[in-house]
């Protein structure tokens, strides 16, 4: 009987072992499976690293450059009657821009031409006109004309119809810069006389100057004015070198023209006070 029980136990153990084999297999790979997987890993080459993609370059057209249009300033009040050419030439002054004004000559010349003419009291020293005091009536449009007379009656200059004439108690000479001594001297004096009244002469001188500095609200005989100051460098030996100061009314016509410097190497100055804009006196 014991022997039989022992045989039963052995059979039961074998049966239990057989029953557990599938469970053990399910819990992990067998030795053969591990070997097969190891061989597979060593025989399969590793995947190459990913190739970075080249960055795409934007080919969009660049934004167009925007150039701002000049700001046009409208006029009102005392400037409501300003001529259109003056408005166009004097925009920087109308906006009261600070700094320097490179086109000052164009502005002032346009204002003088629109003013049609006026009167001047001129004082000079040294090498331009003979030192002294002069009176002048002048016209700026439709063409320039002038009559200048010294206070002592010893000298007069007239410009009309393209002819310039110097008169003294002793003689009358036509100005001609390529003529003889008297004609050349008459041309020098006529040039000096025109310098404060002829828009083209004033424009030309201002174009040889550096940019003008503008000051606004400057008092002139109790009224606000604009002042332009420029430094003139000579283009040729003996030309005027110095400063030009223009005091302008609200329509940018000169009220006061001042030159100070050297002319033909001699210290000189000229001062012209201008009044009566809008008339040309006896010049008709």
Beta strand pairing status for 132-139 and 163-167?
unpaired
Q: Write down the pLDDT at residue 190.
A: 95
Residue 59, pLDDT > 80, answer no
Q: Residue 276 is inside which H or E element, if any?
A: none
Cα–Cα distance measured from residue 111 to residue 100, given in angstroms and rounded to the nearest whole number: 19
Q: How many CA atoms lie within 13 Å of 279's alpha carbon, on the beta-carbon side?
A: 9
Q: The domain that contains 224 carries what CATH number?
A: 2.50.20.20
Q: Residue 266 — very low, low, confident or very high, per pLDDT cuts 50/70/90?
A: confident
Question: pLDDT (tens digit, 9 = 90+) per residue, 132-166?
Answer: 999 999 999 999 999 999 999 999 999 999 899 99
236 in any annotated domain? yes
Examine residue 141 and state whether it is found in any structural domain, yes or no: yes
User: Of 198, 207, 227, which Cα lies nearest the Cα of 93?
Assistant: 227
Selection from 246, 239, 238 nearest residue 212 by Cα: 246
User: How high is the mean pLDDT of the chain?
Assistant: 80
Q: What is the pLDDT of residues 78-113, one digit of tens each?
A: 677 899 999 999 999 999 998 889 999 999 999 999
180 domain residue, yes or no: yes
Residue 212 lies in a domain: yes
Angle between helices 199-208 and 104-115 (to 10 degrees): 170
Please report whether residue 28 resides in a domain.
Answer: no
Residue 98 domain boundaries: 77-275
pTM: 0.72
Handedness of CA 259, 264, 268, 270 (dihedral sign): negative
**14 within a domain of the structure (yes/no):** no
Residue 64: pLDDT over 90: no
Number of domains in the chain: 1
The answer to whether residue 18 scores a pLDDT higher than 50 is: no
Question: Is 214 a domain residue?
Answer: yes
């Amino acid at each position: 009987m014991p022997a039989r029980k022992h045989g039963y136990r052995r059979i039961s153990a074998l049966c239990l072992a057989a029953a557990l084999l599938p469970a053990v297999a399910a819990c992990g790979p067998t030795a053969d499976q591990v070997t097969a997987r190891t061989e597979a890993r060593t025989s399969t080459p590793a995947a190459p690293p990913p190739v970075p993609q080249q960055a795409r370059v934007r080919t969009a057209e660049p934004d167009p450059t925007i150039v701002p249009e000049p700001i046009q300033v409208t006029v009102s009040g005392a400037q409501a009657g300003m001529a259109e050419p003056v408005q166009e030439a004097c925009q920087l002054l109308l906006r009261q821009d600070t700094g320097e004004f490179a086109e000052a000559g164009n502005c002032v010349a346009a204002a003088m031409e629109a003013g049609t003419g006026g009167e001047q009291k001129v004082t000079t020293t040294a090498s331009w006109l003979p030192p002294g005091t002069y009176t002048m009536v002048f016209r700026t449009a439709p063409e320039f004309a002038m009559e200048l007379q010294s206070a002592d009656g010893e000298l007069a200059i007239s410009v009309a119809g393209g002819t310039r004439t110097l008169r003294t108690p002793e003689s009358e000479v036509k100005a001609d810069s390529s003529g003889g001594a008297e004609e050349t001297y008459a041309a020098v004096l006529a040039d000096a006389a025109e310098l404060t009244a002829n828009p083209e002469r004033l424009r030309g001188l201002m174009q040889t100057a550096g940019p003008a500095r503008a000051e606004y609200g400057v008092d002139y005989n109790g009224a606000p004015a604009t002042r332009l100051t420029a430094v003139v460098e000579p283009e040729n030996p003996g030309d005027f070198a110095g400063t030009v100061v223009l005091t302008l009314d609200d329509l940018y016509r000169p009220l006061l023209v001042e030159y100070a410097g050297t002319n033909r190497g001699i210290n000189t100055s000229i001062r012209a006070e201008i009044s009566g804009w809008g008339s040309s006196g006896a010049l008709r």
